[in-house]
Amino acid sequence: MKKLLSILLVVFLVAAFAVGCGGTDNGDNGDNGDNGDNGNGDAVTYDDGVYFAQDEKAGGWTYFVVVDVEGGKITDAHWGGTNVVPQGNKYTASVEGNYNMGGSAEWYEQADAAIAWLVENQDPALFDDKYTDDEGHTEALATDDGTTVSVHVIEFFELAKKALASDPVAEGPHATPDDHVATATLPAEADGVWEYRLDLIVVNGTIVDSSYNSLFVGEFNEENAKYFVDGDETKPSNKVELGMDYGMDWKGNAANIDAFVEANNGFEVEYTDDEGHTDTITGVSIHVNEYETLYKDALGL
């Protein structure tokens, strides 16, 4: 009798062990969120399209991110930046050797390391625990030659989140530059002192951002010292950063022109005089013919 009870007890324990180990499917594939897993065993997927997000504009560089999705997967991304004084894409400036940080790796190489991580892992939120400080530096990324990434990368991953949480950018009629930034400069006339500049960010043929500004390029003297940062003759200022110190609200006018172009995905206005003024754009009193010249030059029209 005791032998029979022992046998029944063994059978019961074996059956219970089998149920506990494999009898219930909890949906976990063992990845625990790595390699594009959302933490529940489900692969992260997105609607196909081209996604865009940009930081709030401030002085210096403003970062933006473009994410390409095909077949529900992130296939490519771009991390770039435009300056308050338009001069093209920071990424391209770095590639061409015109943005020198003085570090062991160029900025674009470090940007590429962040992009490669996103394409491999598919979910920017998975990078949240990989920062080493509040500024967004990390030791989890390295360039192709093994150099540890030293720039803060939090802008890239946070903008990637923002982009993927938004709707894809609608297809537009414009040619999309390889680096997404169409740029143009209108040199000052022989007797002029202001050089007009424009950067247009184009994504999927759509103008998603316009940045219009004018840089002081005249000589430094007592009268013009106000157009230099802190009166330093090596640091010419610009109309946007001068604000009302320029003598009028040129900055506000430029912002209204930018907003008009972004809203209409183009620049079509009717002029009211030969000086280039228009009533087409609300809140604009300055002449806009310089903008039209830059716009056409940037887009090759």
Same domain, yes or no: 186 and 288: yes
In a domain, 25, yes or no: no
* pLDDT recorded at residue 227: 96
Mean pLDDT of 49-54: 98
**Could you tell me if residue 110 is inside a domain?**
yes
On whether both 160 and 186 belong to a single domain, the answer is no
What pLDDT sits at residue 33? Answer: 36
Instruction: Determine, yes or no, domain membership for 251.
Output: yes
Percent of the chain scoring above 90 in pLDDT: 81
For residue 21, is it within any domain?
Answer: no
Whether 269 shows a pLDDT value over 70: the answer reads yes
Mean of the pLDDT values across residues 162-190? Answer: 96
Give domain status of residue 16, yes or no.
Answer: no
Query: Is the per-residue pLDDT at 266 higher than 70?
Result: yes
Dump strand ranges (E) for 45-193.
49-54, 61-70, 73-83, 181-186
- The mean pLDDT of 52-78, rounded to a whole number, is 96
What does pLDDT average to over the chain?
88
109 and 189: one domain? no
Residue 113 belongs to domain with CATH number = 3.90.1010
**Burial class of 26 by CB neighbour count within 10 A (0 to 12, 13 to 18, 19+):** exposed
In this prediction, residues 51-61 reach a mean pLDDT of: 94
- Binned at pLDDT 50, 70 and 90, residue 37 comes out as low
Q: Are residues 60 and 87 in the same domain?
A: yes
C-alpha distances (whole Å) from 178 to each of 66, 175, 185, 195, 202 are 12, 9, 19, 26, 10
Out of 113, 139, 164, a domain closes at 164
Per-residue pLDDT band for 36 (boundaries 50, 70, 90) equals low
Q: Label residue 38 by pLDDT band (50, 70, 90).
A: low
User: pLDDT tens across 238-253, in order?
Assistant: 999 999 999 999 999 9
**Residue span of the structural domain in which 294 resides:** 181-299
Whether 20 is in a domain gets the answer no
38 within domain boundaries: no
- Would strands 206-216 and 194-203 be described as parallel, antiparallel, or unpaired? antiparallel
One-letter amino acid for residue 300 of the chain? G
User: Phi, psi (5° rounding) for residue 171?
Assistant: -70, 130
Residue that wins the pLDDT comparison between 96 and 15: 96
43 within domain boundaries = no
Phi and psi, residue 107, nearest 5°: -60, -45
| Pair (130, 196) in one structural domain | no
Judgement on whether residues 251 and 188 belong to the same structural domain of the protein = yes
Say if residue 289 is in the same domain as residue 185.
Answer: yes
User: What percentage of the chain has pLDDT greater than the value 70?
Assistant: 86
24 pLDDT band (50/70/90 cuts)? very low
Segment 63-92 mean pLDDT: 98
6: pLDDT strictly greater than 60: no
Confidence of residue 39 (pLDDT cuts 50, 70, 90): low
Look at residue 1 in the predicted model and tell me its pLDDT: 42
d(CA 88, CA 239): 18
Count the domains in the chain: 2
Q: So what's the pLDDT on residue 239?
A: 97
Q: Residues 151, 230: one domain?
A: no
Give the model confidence (pLDDT) of 90-142 as tens digits. 999 999 999 988 777 999 999 999 999 999 999 999 999 999 999 999 999 99
pLDDT at 44: 80
pLDDT in tens, 201-255: 999 999 999 999 999 999 999 999 999 999 999 999 999 999 999 999 999 999 9
Q: Which residues are CB-contacts of 39 (< 8 A; sequence separation ≥ 6)?
A: 32, 33
Domain co-membership, 148 together with 222:
no
End residue of a domain, out of 164, 194, 215: 164
* Residues in Cβ contact with 200 at an 8 Å cutoff, skipping those fewer than 6 apart: 181, 182, 183, 207, 209, 210, 211, 261, 295, 298, 299
Domain closes at, from 164, 192, 213: 164
Q: Are residues 293 and 267 part of one domain?
A: yes
CA atoms lying within 13 Å on the CB side of residue 189: 3
